[in-house]
Amino acid sequence: MILAVALHPHFKGGNVKRALTASCLTLTFAAASLGIAPAASANTGDCNTWITYSSPNYGNAYCSGLARFDKFRAKITCIDPHGKQWIVLGPWKKNAKTSRQKCSSDTKVGVLKVGVIFSA
């Protein structure tokens, strides 16, 4: 459509620039009205985190109220008997699902805290 406008003999000089601007604006508004414009996501879902005390311990994260294409995962901070800490990540999940991960098969390793990471 834009190429056809630029090649049409009626559009010369400044007319081409105005026609291209109008075409771009028309396409932008059409895309927005169809719902195909990219939506900004603030990842403001309702998330809960908890530790499952079993042998081994698990970190869990559940999120609901996310946008259609948003994903999240559990971020688990693990700790061993010597105080060494490290982070493991649960699998990516979509809305109204639980991301769950254990730190280690070693029963002496615990979960210090659980958080949530959102996809970009």
User: How much is the pTM?
Assistant: 0.64
User: Cα–Cα distance between 6 and 81 in angstroms, integer?
Assistant: 72
User: Cα–Cα distance between 21 and 25 in angstroms, integer?
Assistant: 6
pLDDT given at position 48: 98
pLDDT digit string (tens) for 14-38? Answer: 554 554 444 444 444 444 444 443 4
User: Cα–Cα distance between 40 and 67 in angstroms, integer?
Assistant: 10
pLDDT given at position 44: 67
Percent composition of the chain: helix, strand, coil (DSSP 3-state, to 5): 20, 35, 40
Distances from the Cα of 30 to the Cα of 4, 26, 56, 67, angstroms: 19, 6, 54, 22
- Better-scored residue on pLDDT, 36 or 42: 42
User: Does residue 78 carry a pLDDT above 60?
Assistant: yes
